Amino acid sequence: MNAHTEWEARCRRCGRCCFEKIDFEGRIFYTDRPCDKLDLATRLCTVYPQRQTARPGCTLLDEHIIGLGVLPADCPYVADLKDYTPPVLWDEDQGF
C-alpha cells in the first residue's frame, strides 16, 4: 500500500469535512450547508475522482489539510493531535 492509499484509508467517510466553512478572523467555522457534490444519503462525494475540477476550491485530503483546521476534532486524520484546533459551528444568532 502506498502513502496516498494509506492516507485515504484513514477516512471514515462521514462527510463532515464536506460542509461549507467560513474563515472569520482566522478562525474556521463550519456551517450546516453541505457541498452540492455531497450525497447526503451515502455521505460520499459524487465527483470524488474529479472533485478539483468539478468543485474548484475543494480541499484535498492530504497532509496539508491538517494545518487548515477544517476537519472535525474526532476525524481520524487529526484526532490524536494535541495542538489541533478544529472548526466550530457557525451560529448566525450569536454572530459567529
Per-residue model confidence (pLDDT) at position 63: 82
What is the signed CA dihedral for 11, 57, 38, 21, rounded to 10 degrees? 80
State pLDDT tens for residues 9-58.
888 889 999 999 999 998 999 999 999 999 999 999 999 889 989 998 88
Which residue from 66, 60, 59, 62 is spatially nearest to 82, judged by alpha carbons? 66
Per-residue model confidence (pLDDT) at position 65: 87
Contact yes or no for 79/73 (Cβ under 8 A) = yes
Specify the higher pLDDT residue, 66 or 3: 66
Per-residue model confidence (pLDDT) at position 36: 95
Has residue 74 got a pLDDT over 90?
Answer: yes
